[in-house]
Amino acid sequence: MAFDKTEVEKVAQLARLHVSDSEVEEVTVRITDILALIDQMQSVNTDAVLPLAHPLDLTQRLREDDVTETNRRDELQLLAPEVEGGLYLVPKVIE
């Protein structure tokens, strides 16, 4: 699978990253190399193998639906770049 500049731009858009014109060439080369490493996986036939998503055979634990957290909104919002009246501010979305 060829990974070219168009793919870089598409993936960067999906990942909400900006790749500048000066970077795009190097990013393409580096990711192509990484994909070549990854493609070594294709050397074995795994048709009969079940995927392993997680190292532990886990069943999700359940708990009573009790309130366990207190409201720390104001404290947590101290970490935000911009807040007003308990709301997170972002650039204008709707005209």
Partner 1 sequence: MIEKTVAQLSGSLNRGDISSVELTQAYLDRINRYNSTLNAFVTVCEETALTQAAQADAARADGRTSPLLGIPLAHKDIFCTSGIKTSCGSKMLHNFIAPYDATVVSRLSDAGAVMLGKTNMDEFAMGSSNETSYFGPVKNPWDTDRVPGGSSGGSAAAIAADLCAMATGTDTGGSIRQPAAFCGITGLKPSYGRISRWGMIAFASSLDQAGPICKSAEDAALMLNAMAGLDTKDSTCADVSVEDYTANLTNSVQGLRIGIPRQHFAEGLSPEVEQAVREALGVYEKLGAQLIDIDLPNNHLSVSAYYVVAPAEASANLSRFDGVRYGYRCDNPVDLEDMYKRSRSEGFGDEVKRRIMVGTYALSAGFYDAYYRKAQKIRRLIKQDFNAAFQQVDIIIGPTSPHTAFNLGAKTDPVAMYLEDIYTIAVNLAGLPGMSVPVGLANGLPIGMHLVASDFAESRLLNVAHQFQLNTDWHRLRATGFTEGR
- For partner 1, the binding residues (CB under 8 A) are 1, 3, 7-8, 11-12, 14-19, 27, 30-31, 33-44, 46, 49-56, 58, 60-61, 63, 72, 75-76, 79-82, 88, 90-93
Q: Tell me the closest approach of the beta carbon of residue 72 to partner 1, in angstroms.
A: 7
Is the Cα dihedral 47, 53, 57, 61 positive or negative? negative
Of 58 and 67, CB closest to partner 1: 58
Of 50 and 67, CB closest to partner 1: 50
